[in-house]
Each structure stands twice: as C-alpha cells, then as structure tokens.
Amino acid sequence: MKKRSKTLLLAGGIAASLLVWAGLDSQLTVREYTIESGKVDGPVRLALLTDLHCCYYGEGQRELLDAVAAQQPDLVVLSGDIVDDETRMPEERALATVEALAEQWPVYYVTGNHEFWSGRVDEIKAELRQCGAVILEGESALVTAAGQTIQICGVDDPNVGERAWQAQLETVTAALEEDVFSVLLTHRPERVEDYTGRGFDLVLAGHAHGGQWRLPGLINGLIAPNQGIFPQYAGGEYDLEGTTLIVSRGLARESTRVPRFYNPRLLVIIELT
C-alpha cells in the first residue's frame, strides 16, 4: 500500500473512532423547554426525571441531585421506571434519590412498566410515598408553585390493566379545572391518541429511552419499546392538537446492556411562562 493511502486509512480510522467515542458519551445533559400559556402568570419550573432504573449517579446520587438543584425547579415530577425490576439494580439508589428530592421540592410520581414487572408495585409505591413522593394513580392535585396554581394529573402505567388505565385517564380528565394549567404525568409516550383532545395543556412521558441510538438531525432514535423501529415519539416536543407532549430520553445507563449512542442521559426542565 502506498504511503498516501496508509495515511488516509489511518486518518479515517482515527476520525471514525472519535465519532464512536463521542457518541458513547452518555454524560448527564439538561434539556430545557419553554411553554407559553395564558393560564400561567410568570415562570414555573418543572424538573422531569424519568427512567432512572436505579442507575448510579455518584455517591449518594450527588451528580443527579446537584444537576436538579442547579436548575432551581419549583417542583419535581417523576414519570415512571424510577425503580427497575432486575435485582442487580439496587433499589436503594432510587429511594435515596426520591427522598433527597422530596426534602427540597414537592415530588409527584407515576409508575412505569418496570415497577409493575417487579411484581412488587404496591410495595414500591408505599416506599416512595414514605420517601415523600405523592403517588398519582388516576388522581390529580392542585399545586401552588412559584405563586401559581397548576394541576398535576397522573396515571399508572398501562400494566395496571387496560380497562383500569382507561378509567384512570377518564377520572383525571373529568377532574380538569378550567383556566388552570394542567399537566398529565404518564409513562407512555406512544399512547398519543388517548391523550389528544382531552384538554390537557401538557403531557409528560418517558419510556422510550430516546430510541437508544440516535444520529442527531438524521435519526431521532433507532428502537423503542411499544413503538418499534424508528419510533416517532422517542424524545422531544410534539403538538397533539393543542396539547403539548414532551418526551424525555430519560436517565438510564447501565440498566440497559446496549449502550446509548448520541443519546446522553437527560434531565428535562420545563419552564411554564
């Protein structure tokens, strides 16, 4: 091989390695969304944490807790899969995270599929309640934060049973207060048809893990549970005929054996203004 070809091959190899290395960097990242609404009179900041799956964020989960604190949220919402069903993932990490969050902010939680798959969903709910989280299972709460009242509604993961899930959705829809900004907290992003036209201002979801592998600007996720290949709702902001859906790519890393690619772990901040 000529010297020039060898140099080109080497340069190409180095460039490819750098691209792969950069893609595998799953450092915690903050993504902020702003939602403007006539129902809110000044900024209210929500921190959305989802799909933690008991993953490690340093001693005492400090990295994650510090990242949340740096964003100065008014309240924290957890949209499921905070606890993992695999026993290799230590549940204490999830509990310690929620307990520390609840010491500083109001915390609202809904289940994900993994809490149900653990076979101990009621026990997990009780533990999280003990940690200070408000568990929403087909319920809504009027919350005062930053001097504003907003309505936080929440439904369990559909693993609760399809009929029970639909009933929970109907209950929170019926409880919507006119002229109060409403948030539906749910695990599943793919149930868009169920969320559309109900009058929620904002729907917050997780579950898709960003489609695990991404190529920013080209592919917004390769595969996601319940959506399959090239998932439409892998992560980002979507308009559901007047309702905004925000899907977080979540906080999981080592709970999933396939590494994330151009898909850093995500803390989502939503500023209502």
When the beta carbons of 189 and 264 are compared against Fe ion, the nearer one is: 189
Separation between Cα atoms, residue 266 and residue 77, nearest integer Å: 14
Of 55-63, 78-86, 118-126, 163-171, the window that binds Fe ion (rule: CB under 5 A) is 78-86
Which residue type occupies 157?
D
Of 50, 97, 111, 113, the residue at the interface with Fe ion (CB under 5 A) is 113
Q: How far apart are CA 19 and CA 41, in angstroms?
A: 44
With contacts defined by CB under 5 A, how many residues of the chain interact with Fe ion? Answer: 4
Residue 92 burial (CB < 10 Å; 0-12/13-18/19+)?
exposed
* Residue 250 C-beta: closest distance to Fe ion, Å: 8
**Nearest approach, Cβ of residue 185 and Fe ion (Å):** 14
Q: How far is the CB of 114 from Fe ion (least distance, A)?
A: 6
Q: Which is nearer to Fe ion, 250 or 264 (CB)?
A: 250
Out of 207, 214, 253, 265, which residue is the one contacting Fe ion (CB under 5 A)? Answer: 207
Q: Which pairs count as long-range contacts for 118-127, CB under 8 Å and 24+ apart, including other chains?
A: 118/83, 118/84, 118/85, 119/85, 124/83, 124/91, 127/91, 127/95
Least separation in angstroms between residue 51's CB and Fe ion is 6
**Residue 182 or residue 263: which is nearer to Fe ion going by CB?**
263
Binding window for Fe ion (CB under 5 A); candidates: 28-36, 38-46, 109-117, 146-154: 109-117
**CB of 203 or CB of 272, closer to Fe ion:** 203
Least Å distance, CB 156 to Fe ion, is 12
Sequence-distant (≥ 6) Cβ neighbours of residue 38 within 8 angstroms = none
Binding-residue pattern over the window 153 to 192 for Fe ion, x denoting contact by CB under 5 A: ----------------------------------------
Beta-bridged to residue 185, according to DSSP, are 154, 204
Piece of 55-63, 91-99, 206-214, 255-263 that binds Fe ion (CB under 5 A): 206-214
Stretch that binds Fe ion, among 81-89, 145-153, 232-240, 263-271 (CB under 5 A): 81-89
CA torsion 155-169-182-68 (nearest 10°) is: 20
Min dist CB 82 to Fe ion, Å, is 10
User: If binding is defined by CB under 5 A, does position 81 make contact with Fe ion?
Assistant: yes
- Shortest gap between Cβ of 53 and Fe ion (angstroms)? 8
Q: Which amino acid is at 30?
A: V
Site for Fe ion, rule CB under 5 A: 81, 112-113, 207
